[in-house]
Structure 1
Amino acid sequence: MKKLFLSAFALLAINFASAQITTPQPSPTSKLEQKVGLTDVTVAYSRPSMRGRAVFGDLVPYGEIWRTGANQNTIVTFSDDVKIGGSTVKKGSYALYTKPNQGSWEVYFYTDTNNWGNPEKWDDSKVAAKLTAETYQLPFEVETFTIDVDNLTNNGASLGILWENTYVEVPFEVPTSEKATASIEKVMGGPQAGDYYAAAVYYLQEDKNLDQAQEWIDKAISMQKEPPFWMLRQKSLIQAKNGDTKGAIATAKQSLAAAEKAGNKDYIKLNQDSISAWEAQ
């Protein structure tokens, strides 16, 4: 009887240990993705709710560093370098920390994102940007902590922090003008060496208009200060396929010399084999 009781108890314990109950998170996670100009901005954070509690000045004390959310770090990611509070912030991910005060907040973009809440020891050298942000009193209450990207323009936006009856605006600038200008100049300036090279190789592979392929590969090579061995290799193949064996041998020898200089054994052998084959014709 005792053995039967122990067996039943063990079975119950195993079933209890293996049971998995799924319940809602008190502060559910959220991920916001927003394109600002030409820059991708992502915010990943947890969202606590008021639940009848007074928040700022009580649950979140004034004058103390706050994780700006719940659980692990609130992380803001920029796909380009941006400007925040007069500082250039390199593209990448940052933990968002704040120090709420009445009337204004101090906002910090912190390079160490692997903290659960506040760092054990605050390190000023890890502050990529800091600014004092304005706060606004809302005419209504926001039950659940919210971060949004507001005031969108081509050149910037604001991280909007909302909770209780407070709105905090954290403006930032993105490099849309520089990126758009560079893109326009590149396209309007015509194809680049890589474009001519890719087109020439495609025509070679598809056996299409080898004269045109020759023109494109010559254009690509002319745009190089020191033509790379792999580009010269393709030119030699185009010449050979187009019946210019003498030219193909001369170009292959240039590719061979460049490959030897670069220490690329594969292209050394490819060129040596081709030169031998073409000279034997």
Structure 2
Amino acid sequence: MRKFIVVAFLTLTAALSNAQVKTPQASPFAKVDQTVGLTEIEVEYCRPSAKGRIVYGELVPYGKNWRTGANANTTISFSDNVVINGKELKKGKYALYTTPRADSWDVIFYTDTSNWGLPQEWDEKKVALRTSVKPVTIGKPVESFTISINNLTNDSGTLDLAWERTSISIPFSVPTNEIAMSSIENVLAGPSMDDYYSAALYYYQSNGDMKKALLWINNAISMTPTGEDVPFWYLRLKALIQAKTGDKTGAIETAKYSLDGATKAGNNDYIKMNKDSISEWSK
């Protein structure tokens, strides 16, 4: 009986030591993912609740920088350059800080995103963009601090912050037309030299139609910019394709050009491969 009690005690002790108490966070984590036009925007933040308190002017003092949420600094990222309230902001990830006032708010995009709340030492050089917007009093109170992206068009939207009876709206625009036109022009311009090279390489490696592979690698080579050397790895692939079609004389000649380019670049691997192939195809 005594042995049983000891074993039971040890089992209970081990179970308690491995147990983890789970409780809800006072300010739950939230994430907003939104595509605006062709630009990806992501917001990560924690959502404090009002709980009957007066928020702005008391819980969040006027005239002082605020973490704009709770816990770690709120962050926002953009996949493309954007324009925030008329000012350009480079693509990337930023901490989102604000300075609330009764009649206007400063909204700050800060390059250091690794702070727990506000930085211990504020560095104005890390302010990528600062803009001002006017707060609006809303009729229905918002219990939990909320960030959302609204009023979407192909080219624009608003970053909206709401809590208690106050909200602000920060307009932004995205370069949808610029991205779309660039994509259209690239597609309509036809395959690039790298596209042709990749297609030829795939056909060579998968034992596809070597006539097509040779056509594609020749297209790639012909697109080499004026004044630049043909990439030696392109020439190496052409030599391999020529050899596979039975044209060893042509393969040797091309391999020699590839060898010259590899020697000029100091690439020992391609130097050796070309020398070995030339020796093999010369037999």
Q: TM-score, normalised by structure 1?
A: 0.91
1:259 lines up with 2:259 in the alignment = no
1:134 lines up with 2:137 in the alignment = no
Query: What SS does the corresponding residue of 1:172 show, helix, strand or coil?
Result: strand
Identity %: 54
Structure 2 Cα separation of the partners of residues 181 and 134 of structure 1? 35
TM-fit CA distance, 1:19 = 4.7
Change (3 A) 1:15 1:208: closer
> What is aligned with 1:5?
none
* Number of equivalenced pairs: 273
Structure 1 Cα separation of the partners of residues 265 and 12 of structure 2? 70
What value does the CA root-mean-square deviation take over the aligned residues?
Answer: 2.0
> What is aligned with 1:102?
102
> What is aligned with 1:150?
150
Query: What SS does the corresponding residue of 2:142 show, helix, strand or coil?
Result: strand
Structure 2 Cα separation of the partners of residues 251 and 18 of structure 1? 67
Structure 1 Cα separation of the partners of residues 57 and 217 of structure 2? 69
Q: Is the 8 A contact 2:67 2:74 kept in 1?
A: yes
Q: Is the 8 A contact 1:75 1:113 kept in 2?
A: yes
In structure 1, list runs of 5 or more residues that go unmatched. 1-9
Query: What SS does the corresponding residue of 1:73 show, helix, strand or coil?
Result: coil
- Matches for 1:209-248 after TM superposition, within 5 Å: 209-225=209-225, 226-248=229-251
> What is aligned with 1:80?
80
1:275 lines up with 2:240 in the alignment = no
In structure 2, list runs of 5 or more residues that go unmatched. 1-9
Change (3 A) 1:242 1:12: closer
Change (3 A) 1:208 1:102: same
Q: Is the 8 A contact 2:221 2:234 kept in 1?
A: yes
Q: Write the letter of the residue equivalent to 1:128.
A: A
Structure 1 Cα separation of the partners of residues 246 and 12 of structure 2? 84
Structure 1 Cα separation of the partners of residues 15 and 222 of structure 2? 74
Q: Is the 8 A contact 1:259 1:268 kept in 2?
A: yes
TM-fit CA distance, 1:18 = 5.5
Structure 2 Cα separation of the partners of residues 110 and 163 of structure 1? 22
> What is aligned with 2:40?
40
Q: TM-score, normalised by structure 2?
A: 0.91
Q: Is the 8 A contact 1:73 1:117 kept in 2?
A: yes
- Matches for 1:48-87 after TM superposition, within 5 Å: 48-87=48-87
Give 4+ residue runs of structure 1 displaced > 6 Å after superposition: 10-17
Q: Is the 8 A contact 2:86 2:172 kept in 1?
A: no
Q: Write the letter of the residue equivalent to 1:252.
A: A
TM-fit CA distance, 1:208 = 2.7
